[in-house]
Amino acid sequence: MNNLEIVKAGLNKRYAKERRFKFYGIFSISLSMLFLFFLLFDIGAKSIPAFTQTYINLDIEFDKKLMKLQDQDSYSEETLFSASYSKLGRNALYKLFPEVTERKQKKALRQMLSSGARYDLRDAVLENNDYVGTTQNLWVLAGDDIDAFVKGLIDRNIPEADRRVKDYQVEWVDTLEAQNKIERRFNINFFTSGDSREPEQAGILGALKGSFYTMLVTLLLSFPIAVSAAIYLEEFAPKNNWWIDIIEININNLAAVPSIVFGILGLAVYINLFGVPRSAPLVGGLVLTLMTLPTIIISTRAALKSVPPSIREAALSIGASKMQVITHHVLPLAMPGILTGSIIGMAQALGETAPLLMIGMVAFVADIPQSILDPATVLPVQVFIWSDSPERGFIALTSAAIVTLLVFLFFMNLVAIVLRKKFETRW
Amino acid sequence: MSNLEILLILIIAAAIAYYATKRQAQSWQASRDKTKLDSLPNYYGYFGAICTLLPALIVLSFWSFIEGNIISALVVSKFERLSALNASDLSLVMNEIKIIVESGLSEKNSNDLFYEKAAVLIERYSLVSLFLKVASVFALSILGFMYAYLKITPRFKARKKVEKTAVYLLLLSALVAILTTAGIIFSVLFESIAFFSQISIFDFVFGTHWSPQIAIREGQVSSTGGFGAFPLFWGTILISIIAMIVAAPLGLISAIYLAEYAQPKIRNVVKPILEILAGVPTVVYGFFAALTVGPMVSGFGDRLNEFGMSFEIELFAGLVVSSESALAAGLVMGMMIMPFILSLSDDVINAVPDSLRDGSIAMGSTKSETVWKVVFPAALPGIVGGFLLAISRAIGETMIVLMAAGVAANLTANPLNSVTTVTTQIVVLLTGDQEFDSIKTLSAFALALGLFVTTLILNILALQIVRRYREQYE
């Protein structure tokens, strides 16, 4: 057998190996893409129920006695605000189902309505003062179990004992449905209210505003500091200087320090040493600033480096100082790259959770923050808080909050990509 | 007057100073003998603004930082009842007093007269401090402006001065990175030293019993039982191993395929899609791991268990399956770090010079043989560096393990069991309502120190390897 024959004999085996290897590559890429689509699809599908909400149509009798109001013709805003609205909804339900008399069933009937329904009724009365003493046909927010049942999240075929909705409640819902008195509407509440313990009343506006303030602080601090630091290191720092090397190693290393360690720094230094208020967007922004600095510095340096020397030399040759060369020529030319890096850094900061847990942004905050000093939470932390809540409705809410967060991240990255594509110059 | 208002006024003052000094310079230029200026008029303006703003700003920020502590110290020294307290009680009492100050003294909200007295004192000192602060800041600002205005002459080298100041400011920004590292080290080091003065390092690192939630009262210390962190280290390692088993082959093979086989068109589509995985926030992975992958894994474990029971395979029959498992967390974490390995490996593979590939192909080897026998060995150091960075990321990852791996400190090699990690315990220990210097919170700082040092070593090692590798082919 000569050499050629030996080679030919092994050839099929080697080609098979080649094909197999290629297949592995395609397989692993497909697997990863499949995982990504599964992840997005799973969360997207889980979020759908959160975007609608169940309302029940009731004839609400705004009885002065039930509202604990004195018999007058007109009332001041304040009296109306502090009046009692808790009995109005349940009374209307009792009237609709007069056959219900047993105590336990009455309680179940009451729970058909959300505990937040009274606030909606209050707001309705504050808007139309003349409702008092009349009977109005209104749509009232349903409780979370009924909501889940109407959405089909609770199966009516499983035995009653394993089900959160009792048989008589199912019957009531069917009766209401037959009369067209129950309906699902778009969940506007989700975008207009703060956090709540009740899933049907909880919204993400508080977290959105918290994220906005936190990002504002982060951007205002990290962008100027990072760009200045990058300019110094790239343009002014003496070469082959040991402590410049230390700074550089430092920055590269900080980019890889676990995020939770920054949270510890925030807790020990900002809160305990400097007394910055806990849970506030200010301290969150300060912590995230330190985290985003390395990202922005590294991309800014890359952008500065990509500006060709010919431009610097041209400016220098007509008498510009080094600082003028940088501020008048290099920086404007590098700006698209710097902005792209900054947006990517901000997107990272927007999705960051762990360090913010350390500085108390995980507290339950029902109020919507009005400034960078108010206690607040941010979107990813809101996701974490809700995912910890036992009520069924929170699964959908968590997924919906994630969808919102991902939409924001998607747009930020889109802007970064467009910036890069549009203004990128190849020298 | 709040700091923000003072800052605004200072900025307005600086703007005025800018125009005043600039006008002065312009007037020289426009004068009859056409004096030649050393710098452009703008630079005289900048010089004026810097002199007005900078010293005042330094004093303002310094004062604001130390103000609170000085006032507290003064108040404490005035009251014997306060100076007799120990540190943690003192901070509680001071907090209460500060709440009274914030809510306004006019409302009688405390029945303890002593608190009222202290609050009144704090408010008085704050007022004095504010007055001194405002006075000194504005005086400095005016003095600075006068200095600048008197200093400038047509021959004054304004540009040089301004640019020099600017360079110092840039340097200051670069030093923030050093300050951050120093801040991290100091914030974990002192608390860790306090912790290790009560619990020996040996017991901490090698102890196998972790139950810090059992409150240890003061004076009952150093009964080491509760602070053996070995199960946490093991949990972290176990999950990182699972994650790397998933991420390393997937990331590496995908990278090789994209770099060596895929057409540019496909590459340009696939790579950004896979990089989306790196941009998804970790809390999303955590939710996915806890709600979707976790139940899938435990369902699989149950199935395995049944299988073991019916066929009497002891290994499977005795399986403990928990809803929170190391496997679920590790799988999802693997997918999270996959794109990281992908893009790092992609970089190093692309950096391997084509001459090596061409040589191998010319010898008659197939593409896969070239990849495995030539490109891969050449890129190995860079790939190893990338793996180290990925491991460091897996060790430091918090949200996925917090949400999906559980909090029970089990020393187990069974990936279907729930384990806990260093990062999880840090969060658990520090998010409760704890006083700051209890041994329980101190232990969190010791864990953080361990985490920081480990990742630091991994990062420096990895960066060094990657850098040396790059130099080799440049």
Contact B51, B148 (CB under 8 A): yes
Domain-located, residue A215: yes
Task: Supply φ then ψ for residue A58, to 5 degrees.
Answer: -135, 150
Q: For the segment A111-152, what is each residue's pLDDT rounded down to a tens digit? A: 888 888 888 888 888 888 778 878 888 888 888 888 888 887
pLDDT value at residue A174: 83
Q: What is the dihedral of CA A167, A171, A176, A182, to 10 degrees?
A: 30
Right CATH number for B224-472 from 3.40.50.720, 1.10.3720.10, 3.40.1410.10, 3.30.1300.30?
1.10.3720.10
Q: Is B53 in the A-facing interface, judged by CB distances under 8 Å?
A: no
Question: Do A226 and A370 have their domain in common?
Answer: yes
CB under 8 Å to B8, separation ≥6 — which residues? Answer: none
Q: For the segment B211-231, what is each residue's pLDDT rounded down to a tens digit? A: 776 555 544 444 445 788 888
pLDDT value at residue B213: 64
What distance in Å separates the CA atoms of residue A265 and residue B173, rounded to the nearest whole number?
19
CATH number for the domain harbouring residue A400? 1.10.3720.10
What distance in Å separates the CA atoms of residue B366 and residue A18, rounded to the nearest whole number?
7
Domain-located, residue A407: yes
Question: Do A36 and A62 have their domain in common?
Answer: no
Helix (H/G/I), strand (E/B), else coil: A184: strand
Which of A42, A244, A246, A257 has the highest number of chain B CBs within 10 A, making it the mutation to test binding with B?
A257
Q: What is the dihedral of CA A54, A56, A57, A62, to 10 degrees?
A: -120
Asked if B250 lies within 8 A of A32 by C-beta distance, the reply is: yes
The count of structural domains within chain A is 3
What distance in Å separates the CA atoms of residue A325 and residue A314, rounded to the nearest whole number?
9
Q: Is B183 in the A-facing interface, judged by CB distances under 8 Å?
A: yes
Question: Do A258 and A326 have their domain in common?
Answer: yes
Asked if B174 lies within 8 A of A42 by C-beta distance, the reply is: no
Asked if A32 lies within 8 A of B283 by C-beta distance, the reply is: no
A353 chain-B contacts, CB cut-off 8 A: 281-283, 398-399
Asked if B174 lies within 8 A of A15 by C-beta distance, the reply is: no
Contact B298, B304 (CB under 8 A): no
pLDDT value at residue B214: 56
Q: Which of A18, A247, A387 sits opposite B366 (nearest CB)?
A: A18
B402 chain-A contacts, CB cut-off 8 A: 354
Question: Do A273 and A353 have their domain in common?
Answer: yes
Contact B367, B299 (CB under 8 A): no
Residues of chain A with confidence (pLDDT) below 70: 426-427
Instruction: Work out the angle between the directed axes of helices B41-78 and B87-103 (0-180°, nearest 10).
Output: 110
Question: Do A22 and A85 have their domain in common?
Answer: no
Contact A226, A293 (CB under 8 A): yes
Question: Do A358 and A237 have their domain in common?
Answer: yes
Q: Is A383 in the B-facing interface, judged by CB distances under 8 Å?
A: yes
Q: Is A237 in the B-facing interface, judged by CB distances under 8 Å?
A: yes
Question: Do A43 and A75 have their domain in common?
Answer: no
Question: Do A289 and A254 have their domain in common?
Answer: yes
User: How distant is the alpha carbon of residue A198 from its chain centre?
Assistant: 18
pLDDT value at residue B223: 47
Question: Do A213 and A165 have their domain in common?
Answer: no
Helix (H/G/I), strand (E/B), else coil: A138: strand
Question: Where are the domains positioned within chain B?
Answer: 3-156, 224-472
For the record, the structure tokens of A220 come out as: 């205002």
3-class secondary structure per residue, chain B: CCHHHHHHHHHHHHHHHHHHHHHHHHHHHHCCCCCCCCCCHHHHHHHHHHHHHHHHHHHHHHHHHHHHHHHHHHHHHHCHHHHCCCHHHHHHHHHHHHHHHHHCCCCCCCCCHHHHHHHHHHHHHHHHHHHHHHHHHHHHHHHHHHHHHHHCCCCCCHHHHHHHHHHHHHHHHHHHHHHHHHHHHHHHHHHHHHHHCCCCHHHHHHCCCECCCCCCCCCCCCCHHHECCHHHHHHHHHHHHHHHHHHHHHHHHHHHHHHHHCCHHHHHHHHHHHHHHHHCCHHHHHHHHHHHHHHHHHHHHHHHHHHHHHHCCHHHHCCCCCCCCHHHHHHHHHHHHHHHHHHHHHHHHHHCCHHHHHHHHHCCCCHHHHHHHHHHHHHHHHHHHHHHHHHHHHHHCCHHHHHHCCCCCCCCCCCCCCCCCHHHHHHHHHHCCCCCCCHHHHHHHHHHHHHHHHHHHHHHHHHHHHHHHHHHCC
Q: What is the DSSP letter of A56?
A: E
**A195-210 per-residue burial string, b: 16 or more CB within 10 A, e: under 16:** bbeebbbbbbbbbbbb
Question: Do A377 and A297 have their domain in common?
Answer: yes
**A&B contacts, CB < 8 Å:** 246
Q: Which of A187, A222, A255 is the last residue of a domain?
A: A187
A258 chain-B contacts, CB cut-off 8 A: 392-393, 395-398, 423, 451-452, 455
CA-based nearest distance A323→chain B, Å? 7
Q: Which of A158, A187, A216 is the last residue of a domain?
A: A187
Helix (H/G/I), strand (E/B), else coil: A390: coil
pLDDT value at residue A421: 82
Q: What is the DSSP letter of A204?
A: S
Domain-located, residue A374: yes
The number of CA neighbours under 13 Å toward the Cβ of A25 is 22
Q: Is A363 in the B-facing interface, judged by CB distances under 8 Å?
A: no
Contact B97, B76 (CB under 8 A): no
Q: What is the DSSP letter of A410?
A: H
Question: Do A276 and A236 have their domain in common?
Answer: yes
Predicted TM-score of the model (pTM):
0.87
pLDDT tens for chain B, 474 residues long, are: 788 889 999 999 999 999 999 998 888 888 877 778 888 888 999 999 999 999 999 999 888 888 877 888 888 887 777 777 776 677 777 777 777 777 665 555 555 677 777 778 888 888 898 899 999 999 999 999 999 988 888 888 889 999 999 999 999 999 998 899 999 998 899 889 988 888 888 888 888 888 776 555 544 444 445 788 888 999 999 999 999 999 999 999 999 999 999 999 998 899 888 888 888 999 999 999 999 998 888 888 888 888 877 777 766 666 666 778 889 999 999 999 999 999 889 988 988 899 999 999 999 899 999 999 999 999 998 899 999 999 999 999 999 999 988 777 778 877 888 888 999 999 988 886 656 667 888 888 999 999 999 999 998 898 888 878 777 776
For the record, the structure tokens of B102 come out as: 């914030």
pLDDT value at residue A374: 87
A225 chain-B contacts, CB cut-off 8 A: 173, 176
Domain that holds residue A21: 3-48
Q: Is A91 in the B-facing interface, judged by CB distances under 8 Å?
A: no
Question: Do A258 and A148 have their domain in common?
Answer: no
